[in-house]
Amino acid sequence: MKKKRLISLLLAAFITVMPLSFSFAAPTPEPTADNTTSTVTSPDGTTRTVTSDGNDVKSTPKATESTDTSSDTETTSATETPSDTSSDTSSTSDTTSQSDTDTTSQNANSLPDGVTMEDPSLTPPNVQYAQSALLMDMASGRVLYSKNLDERVYPASTTKIMTAILALEMGNMDDTVTATYDALKSITLEDSHMGILTGEELTLDQLVKGMLVYSANDAANVIAIHIAGSLDAFVDLMNQKAQELGMTGTHFVNPCGSHDDNHYTTARDLAILSKYAMKNDQFREIVKMPIYKIPATNKYASERILVNTNLFLGTSRSTYYYYPPAIGIKTGHTSQAGYCLVSAASYNDTEFLAIVMNCKNVDTKEQAYSYIDSKALFNFGFDNYTHQPLAAVGDIVSDSKVYEAKQDMRVAVTVENDVSALIPSGEGNAEQITTNIDMPEKLEAPITKGDVLGTVTYSYKGIEVGSANLIATNDVERNNILHVFHLVLKVITSPFFFIPAILLILLIMYARYQKKKRERQRRIQQLKKNRQRSSSENETGTRTPTRQEQKELTAKQKVQIQDTEDKTQKEVQSHLF
């Protein structure tokens, strides 16, 4: 009986524990990846398939054998008339897909050495070929991504950005310039040139356009001597301008970018220069020209057709990298500098500046790595950032009490210009923008509508993303009576009033002290005289009454006279009655 009962208890315990043991032993299921995909249209018009987290759907690229035999884009002869090919541009999207291959979702806390991002929570762009690189918001100057930002590199023909801006700021574009032997003697057939001949006459405008569009070294030298008188003098102007702009890691040796170990810059400095240059309207118009034609000159009977060396701007040199949002800026190449590209793109009111330095391009097709990395930077910017409106002119940002205002009128302030911020796209990011208003603690009347009263700054995760002046939206008159009262009160309580008043009081006290001192001395002298008189009287036996004694005698006489008069009056009255 006891054995049966014991078996029953063990069986019941076994049945109770079994489900628990299975639950402990069961493995925790792995979270399933969301494989939802969607189609995204890039700024260049290409269509890409992306996952729900915004990453591209990758395909393993196949190695292709290049048959491109085109020459270096920096050394193409100007005498050739380019033919505009119309081959299928669908290869552009294929190249983009290839450039994004092997992109890994790197953790924000484990960025590669030398790489920085303004928002580390974003997946960095796949910049795998450039020695140094940068993506900047052109409006604010914020660096969104960088790779070896301050590492010294050779600028090659991107040097001509500085040469051009000095020419535009210091020269007259209508000037006729004659090319000299000194300007052309260092130019070789291997250099990038537009075939300028000694004695050829060109306008400064033609020279600047030929230099920026076609990367002409000969044009750069001719410009330099025209502006400064010599190459060395112009180089001094270049370095002086670099210092003015804050390009602390840059030193120029020549105006065209020919290699010299002492001719160097950084990605940061090139961004500073390019952002500054793009504020010049003439510069902006020139650097986005796909083709420039120079008419016949005194040395050439026919026009010269110059095709922009920037493959983003057209299809004449290559159909692989035409990028409609591109608006410039400058290519560069030497064997020591590698292939460099300073480019800008504008899309949906957003402008980005991309810089890649020292890429090892192989051709102008699948292996033009400077364009692959630059495209990756632009895609990163346009895909991950958006403009968030913050304030418009007329919006009341704040209002404030005004000191000495008539009828206690307050002043309302609005932004001087519309303000928007470039922030990462995504839900909840706009709510992370903070506002900081900087205005004087005491605003004084009168205030006129439109007066600048302070500034407003907008920040995203501690990073300033926008700012504007704050201006008054209404007039505020001054209460003149209150103003006069405050002036009087201010005078009375002013140290400049107290000090003279204290000095005056001290002067009066000093004067009274001196007066008492004189009286005391006079009394002492009088006492001395009295003593001398007393001593003399004692010697003669007679004494002159003192003033006090004379007063007492006079008072007694008056009493006696008054008594006599009273007695006389009484006697008269007694006889009458």
Tell me, what's the pLDDT at 576? 56
- The tokens of 64 are what? 């292709």
- Catalytic residue, chosen from 146, 157, 318, 400, is 157
Outline where DSSP puts E strands in 85-158: 115-117, 132-137, 143-147
Q: Which residue has the tokens 């180089």?
A: 235
- Catalytic residue, chosen from 215, 258, 274, 400, is 215
> In this model, does residue 258 exceed pLDDT 50?
yes
Tell me, what's the pLDDT at 565? 66
> In this model, does residue 540 exceed pLDDT 70?
no
> In this model, does residue 488 exceed pLDDT 70?
yes
Read off φ and ψ for residue 486, nearest 5 degrees: -65, -35
389 by DSSP, 3-state: which?
A: strand
- The tokens of 165 are what? 């801006």
Tell me, what's the pLDDT at 287? 98
Question: What is the DSSP code (8-state) at residue 380?
Answer: H
CA distance 472 to 453: 7
CA angle 314, 316, 320 (to 5 degrees): 65
First to last CA, the chain: 167
**CB neighbour class for 476 (10 Å; exposed up to 12, middle 13-18, buried from 19):** buried
426-469 residue pLDDT tens: 888 888 999 999 999 989 899 999 999 999 999 998 889 999 99
Contact 409, 473 (CB under 8 A): no
Q: Which residue has the tokens 């801006």?
A: 165
Contact 275, 136 (CB under 8 A): yes
CA distance 337 to 342: 13
510-528 residue pLDDT tens: 888 888 888 888 878 877 7
Active site (annotated) includes residue 157: yes
Q: Which residue has the higher pLDDT, 101 or 492?
A: 492
**pLDDT band at residue 25, thresholds of 50, 70 and 90?**
very low
Read off φ and ψ for residue 256, nearest 5 degrees: -110, -20
CA distance 346 to 327: 7
Tell me, what's the pLDDT at 88? 40
CA distance 105 to 90: 27
Q: Which residue has the tokens 């009056």?
A: 569
Average pLDDT over residues 485-509: 78
278-298 residue pLDDT tens: 999 999 999 999 999 999 999
Active site (annotated) includes residue 215: yes
- The tokens of 114 are what? 């030398």
Determine the number of helices (DSSP H) and then strands (DSSP E) in the chain: 13, 20
Tell me, what's the pLDDT at 507? 85
Q: In terms of Cα–Cα distance, which of 126, 64, 153, 152 is closest to 373?
A: 126
Average pLDDT over residues 355-384: 97
- The tokens of 374 are what? 């630059």
Enumerate residues 6+ apart whose C-beta is below 8 A from 399. Answer: 410, 411, 412, 413
Tell me, what's the pLDDT at 55? 43
Outline where DSSP puts E strands in 416-563: 419-424, 433-438, 443-444, 452-460, 463-472
Enumerate residues 6+ apart whose C-beta is below 8 A from 71. Answer: none
Tell me, what's the pLDDT at 538? 61
**Beta pairing, strands 350-359 & 132-137:** antiparallel
Contact 50, 38 (CB under 8 A): yes
Q: In terms of Cα–Cα distance, which of 476, 477, 460, 457 is closest to 468?
A: 457
The amino acid at residue 431 is: E
Q: What is the mean pLDDT of the chain?
A: 82
**Beta pairing, strands 398-403 & 443-444:** parallel
CA distance 358 to 169: 30
Tell me, what's the pLDDT at 489? 76
| % of residues, the chain, pLDDT over 90 | 59
Q: What is the CA radius of gyration of the chain?
A: 47
Contact 310, 322 (CB under 8 A): no
> In this model, does residue 541 exceed pLDDT 70?
no
Enumerate residues 6+ apart whose C-beta is below 8 A from 290. Answer: 307, 308, 313, 314, 316
Read off φ and ψ for residue 395, nearest 5 degrees: -70, 130
Q: Which residues of 378-401 are buried (b: 16+ CB within 10 A; e: fewer)?
A: bbbbbbbbbbbebbeeeeebeebe
> In this model, does residue 390 exceed pLDDT 70?
yes
- The tokens of 338 are what? 């590698």
Helices 267-277 and 231-245: angle between axes, nearest 10 degrees: 90
- Catalytic residue, chosen from 42, 132, 160, 375, is 160
- The tokens of 249 are what? 């890691």
**pLDDT band at residue 416, thresholds of 50, 70 and 90?**
very high
